Structure formats: C-alpha cells, structure tokens
Amino acid sequence: MGDELVLVTGGTGFVGITCIIRLLRDGTRVRTTVRDLARADEVRELVRRGGADPGGVEVVAADLLDDAGWSDAVAGATAVLHVASPFPVRQPKDADELIVPAREGVLRVLAAARDAGVRRVVQTSSFAAIGYGRPNPGRPYTEEDWTDPEGPGVTPYVQSKTLAERAAWEFVDREGGGLELATVNPVGIFGPALGTDLSTSLELLRQLLDGVYPVVPNGSVGAVDVRDVADLHVLAMRHPDAAGERFLAVSGDAITYLELARLLRAGLGDRAKRVPTRVIPDWIVRAGAPFSRELRQMSHELGRRGDASHAKATRLLGWTPRPREDAVLASARSLVELGLIRD
C-alpha cells in the first residue's frame, strides 16, 4: 500500500479532511488540493488533531474553476477522491453560483484523471441528487432514484449536486477511456468536528444548541457519521465491484427536527438547555412563504420524510455505519469541546 498515492480534492472540508485522515491511518500517501496554499498549514493541523501524521500529506493548489494545477495534482495518483464542491449555509439567488463550479469542477478533475492514467475516481455526490423534485416513492430511497432538477422546491444546491453527478456519469460513458467512476451520496453529515469552519449540518446543530431559533420546523433530516462517509469512500475506491456504482451513505431512517432536539437535550443536559422543543405550525410557514426564501423552501419540506437505504453499500462493500444518534451526539460534543457553544 506504500506505493499507492491518492488525491483528495477539497482538503479543508469536513469530508475531505476525514478522508485524508482515514487514508493516512492505512499508510496511504495522500495529496490534497486547496484553492489557496496559505491554508496548507491548516490542513496539516486538522490532520494532527485527527490523530494522523501530517507528514504523510502533500498539499497543492488547484481551483475547480481553473485548469491550472490539476495535471500536477493528479500526476502519479492511482485514485482520486473528488470531494470538493460548494455547500452554502444560505442558498444563492443565482443557481449558477453553485452549479457552474460543481459541474465544471468534476469535469475538470475527471479529464485530468483520465489523462494521467488514474484507475478510479470516487465522486462525493449527495442524497440531494437522489431524493428531491419528485413525489416520495412510498419506500426508502435507493441508488436507482434520481432528483428532478426542475422539480418543485429544488434549491440551487440540490440542482448543483444532481447536474454535477449526471455530468460525471456522462463524461465517463462518452470520453472516459478506461477511467472508472463511483459515487458516494451522503445524507446530512454529522460526526466530530476538528475545526471551527463548520459544515452546513454542524452549523444547524450549533444554531439549535445556541437557541438561535425558538421553534423547529415540521420536517426531517437524514444522518450519517463523517467517519463512516470516509470509510465508504475508501471502500468505493478499492473494491472491484464498486466501479460504475452509486452508494447511499445513510444511517437508519431520517430523524425529525423535534427528535433531533430531544436527542440533544437528553445527550447534553444543561449544554442543550436552549434547544427548542416546539414545532412551528405548518400554517405559519405557508403564510410566510411568499415573503421569505427560507420559509418558502421550508414549506416544500413540511412533513416530508427522506428515508433512504444503505442496503447496497452493505451488500456489495460490507459497509456498516454507526447509529445516527451516535453521529449527532459526537457532533454536538465536539462543538462544545471546541468552545463554539455559548455558555
């Protein structure tokens, strides 16, 4: 395994840094991309906090919107974990702010990987590319399902992940040469934070723990631990049967926001005393939807369940995730330890 070199794009992100740590613990050499080399020391510090040797990671500069740097980034790599993609806390007014870098970025990485003779690329897609814009199928979502990017309530982020994954499969099919592709499609990603630059899911928990909102919406969120997501990326990279496949990363059924709030209260005691335990009535959300983008998006999710199945990843790759409750509480405790929850 010492001769294996894996490129991980987006080394400062929540999933990216966890994949790096996972690979380093295997003894795998890692190269990672950042947009600005000024963040190289940040990557190494996060690796150190995660319990791995930062000396095993090489940091290079490459931007999803620029050809510069990608041929050097993939040189000598046997596989690529393409994790980098924009995920905003607030949805932009112009969907292209997310769609263009997501779609152009994955095509740029795939072309560079093909030209460098990389064996396999694992793309971090999302449940966003599976479970939106269509009526609920009345069963847990599977990898056979695809989001309709023009469907009702579909946000720019959901569009970006769907169109980027579609573009990736089309590229490999038409002009990929011998390049193999697999995708990992996580639901909401929780688990222990290593730094203060929070992902969207962890920012949601921080706001709940800080009492930013007095109520929670009548909706639900899927949950999976970031460490299990990293494990699934590595399995999808190495397993011979993973080529050409999508894999949902999910742990159990979706958890309602009220269940999430009660879990935080039970697991963190006084640290969670500001977490709201009342649900905002649906009629208030609908009444405010014409005047607020946040409420308008929330109105499409009222009462909706996004249950999904990890049966395929378990059957083909032997992947077994932690319980969703463990993932959420690991996130919350890490936020407290990092001093991100006000006293």
pLDDT in tens, 259-270: 999 999 999 999
For the stretch 207-249, pLDDT in tens is: 999 998 898 888 889 999 999 999 999 999 999 999 999 999 9
pLDDT score for 154: 87
Q: What percent of the chain has pLDDT over 70?
A: 92
State the average pLDDT over residues 184-192. Answer: 97
Active-site residue flag, 93: no
Angle at 246 between CA 245 and CA 252, to 5 degrees: 135
For the stretch 313-323, pLDDT in tens is: 999 999 999 99
Tokens (6 digits) for 113: 């990987």
Distance CA 330, CA 48 (A): 19
pLDDT score for 303: 60
Domains and CATH numbers, the chain: 5-195+223-253+307-322 (3.40.50.720)
In sequence order, the 6+-apart residues with CB closer than 8 A to the CB of 248 are 127, 130, 141, 142, 143, 185, 186, 187, 308, 309, 310, 312, 313
What are the φ and ψ backbone dihedral angles of 32, each rounded to 5 degrees?
A: -135, 155
Owner of token pair 């990363």: 249
Distance CA 155, CA 320 (A): 30
Confidence label for 291 from pLDDT (cuts 50, 70 and 90):
low
Q: Which of 93, 161, 273, 312 is catalytic?
A: 161
Confidence label for 287 from pLDDT (cuts 50, 70 and 90):
confident
Taking 60 as the threshold, does the pLDDT of residue 2 lie above it? no
What average pLDDT does the structure give for the chain?
Answer: 91
Instruction: Give strand pairing partners of 247.
Output: 184
Confidence label for 289 from pLDDT (cuts 50, 70 and 90):
low
